[in-house]
Amino acid sequence: MTEARTTATAQQIVAFFLGNEEYGVPIIQVSEVIRKVGITRIPGMPDFIEGVINLRGKIIPVIDLRKRFGLPVQVDTEKTRIIVVLTSDHSIGLIVDGVSEVINLSNDQIEPIPPTIAAIDAEYLSGVGKRDTQLTILIHLEKLLNDIEKHAIEKLAKKGTVDTADAAQ
Query: Edge to edge, what strands does the sheet with 30-35 contain?
Result: 30-35, 81-86, 91-96, 58-64, 49-55
Taking residue 91's Cβ as centre, other Cβ atoms within 10 Å add up to 18
Q: Check if CATH label 2.40.50.180 holds for domain 7-163.
A: yes
Query: Could you give the CA distance from residue 64 to residue 80 in angstroms, rounded to a whole number?
Result: 11
pTM: 0.83
pLDDT digits (tens, 9 = 90+) for 57-73: 899 999 999 999 889 98
Residue-range domain boundaries for the chain: 7-163
pLDDT digits (tens, 9 = 90+) for 6-55: 444 789 999 999 989 999 999 999 999 999 999 999 888 888 999 999 99
Query: Could you give the CA distance from residue 94 to residue 92 in angstroms, rounded to a whole number?
Result: 7
Query: Could you give the CA distance from residue 75 to residue 117 in angstroms, rounded to a whole number?
Result: 28
Q: Considering only CA atoms, which of 111, 84, 78, 114 is closest in space to residue 97?
A: 78
pLDDT digits (tens, 9 = 90+) for 99-142: 999 999 999 999 988 776 655 566 788 899 999 889 999 999 98
51: left (phi over 0), alpha (psi -120 to 50) or beta: left
Q: Report the first-to-last Cα separation within the chain, whole angstroms.
A: 55
